[in-house]
Structure 1
């Protein structure tokens, strides 16, 4: 699996693939990750909805207001 990934983490594609990641409900191995990415998944509790919100936040989509008219901003919903 590590060789198939080129020796790097499936997620960040930079860190060394050293930590076997698995689905905590089924036990199925998903891939081999670096320590940071494996820890991040654990801290986000393997919840795709939380991960999507985290990505949107980092991209500025959750907090970046849109200018609707002069002096009027709309916050993303």
Structure 2
């Protein structure tokens, strides 16, 4: 389990100009670095959980990359 950090930074939506929540510095930075894209965060979590994102062999010599 991850360690807990104090939520001391205000997270806001730049496009809406409103406060969303309070986060730790590390969490706020990580979300920003991941581009605020939920799918990117899900892929990062899957990687950390050991679910690799390897290409799938669909025909001899033909691989499909994960979407």
TM-score higher than 0.5 = yes
- What's the TM-score, normalizing by structure 2? 0.67
Give the match for residue 30 of structure 2.
40
- What's the TM-score, normalizing by structure 1? 0.60
User: How many residues were matched structurally?
Assistant: 55
| Structure 1 segments (4+ residues) deviating >4 Å | none
Corresponding position: 1:56 with 2:46 = yes
Structure 2: tracts of 5 or more residues without a match: 55-65
- Residue 24 of structure 1 deviates from its aligned partner by 2.3
Structure 1: tracts of 5 or more residues without a match: 1-11, 65-75
Alignment RMSD, CA only?
Answer: 2.3
More strand by share: 2
